[in-house]
Amino acid sequence: MTTLRGRVQGGKGDASRWLSRFNEAYARKLGMPVFPGSLNVALPEAFDWSAPALRPLLIPFSRAEYGGERDILLAPCVLRSLRDQRAFLWTTTTAAADREDPWVVELVAPVGLRATYSLQDGDPVEIELATP
């Protein structure tokens, strides 16, 4: 079991457009609704989407499968610091390989995490990756 600890960070707001547009496909893929927006969490060090320990957890979401422009990777997790909220780490395969800020991870969940948990930039978040 891997635990990541980081702090809430502002984002560009771009995830909301894509998660809104393909929301039904995400809900089918993940077996739960997905709030149309993500929460950015800055970690103390770079997150490696290609780490061998992470591979069994990854849920690939092909653009052909949902009708989008990019392939997506998701990894189930539990937000321990947010009342054990179920969530997913979320990224495009392009960003996973070459993100300008590789220490930032994005989270998607069935609720708007900022509003539901009254989160502000700088608030701590503890992310526990699911065990395969």
Q: How far apart are CA 132 and CA 56, in angstroms?
A: 6
pLDDT at 131 over 80: no
Q: How many domains does the chain have?
A: 1
Radius of gyration of the chain (CA): 14
Mean pLDDT over residues 78-101, rounded? 92
Mean pLDDT over residues 101-123, rounded? 96
- Predicted local distance difference test score (pLDDT) of residue 98: 85
What's the pLDDT tens digit per position in 113-126? 999 999 999 999 99
What's the pLDDT tens digit per position in 16-66? 888 999 999 999 999 999 999 999 999 999 999 999 989 999 999 999 999
Please give the structure tokens belonging to residue 23. 């929301």
pLDDT over 90 percentage in the chain: 80
* CB distance 2 to 53 below 8 Å: yes
Q: Does this model's pTM top 0.85?
A: yes
Map residue 73 onto helix, strand or coil.
Answer: strand
Count of CA atoms in the C-beta half-sphere (13 A) of 124: 7
By residue range, what is the domain housing residue 114? 3-129
Amino acid of residue 77? C
Residue 56 maps to which CATH number?
A: 2.40.30.30
pLDDT at 132 over 70: no
pLDDT over 70 percentage in the chain: 97
pLDDT at 80 over 90: yes
